[in-house]
Structure 1
Amino acid sequence: MDLTGAIWHKSTRSSGNGGDCVEVADNLPGVVGVRDSKDPAGPALTFEPATWKAFVEFTKQH
């Protein structure tokens, strides 16, 4: 999947010391990208927006 144009945002749950950070890009139509901020050129996972929303809501409850 081409994520050119993705605007990446660091998770608010990531630690503030520069480690273990997750970045999410939700500005592209029909896809949400997730990557490791320590390896921005590395692989990224992609999800349908509804699937990502369900995951986020689930994690808020647990």
Structure 2
Amino acid sequence: MSEFHFEKSSYSEPNGECVEVARNIPRLVAVRDSKQSEGPVFMVASASWALFLAHVRQP
């Protein structure tokens, strides 16, 4: 499997409490804690990630 290319959100706080997301693998999104770059990675289907984002963006 290809290596994940994680990116931090532009909304990240300066205190470092945020997650990083990798979307460079087809049909998969990987999420990890930015403070634990060698720690566990949560993986979810791209379609499920899109539904999650749509839900959290609702007012």
TM range (shorter): 0.7 to 0.9
Classify the secondary structure of the residue corresponding to 2:17: coil
User: What are the ranges of 5 or more consecutive residues in structure 2 without an aligned counterpart?
Assistant: none
User: What are the ranges of 5 or more consecutive residues in structure 1 without an aligned counterpart?
Assistant: none
Query: Are the equivalent residues in 1 in contact too, given 2:27–2:47 (CA < 8 A)?
Result: no
| Percent identical | 39
Partner of 2:27: 30
Q: Report the Cα offset of residue 11 of structure 1.
A: 1.7
Partner of 1:43: 40
Cα shift readout 1:15-52 (whole Å, capped 9, x = no counterpart): 1x142111000010121000001000000110000000
TM-score (structure 1 length as normaliser): 0.83
State the aligned residue count: 59
Cα distance between partner residues in 1 of 2:29 and 2:58: 21
TM-score (structure 2 length as normaliser): 0.87
Q: Report the Cα offset of residue 61 of structure 1.
A: 0.5
Cα distance between partner residues in 2 of 1:5 and 1:41: 13
Q: Which runs of 4+ in 1 moved over 3 A?
A: none
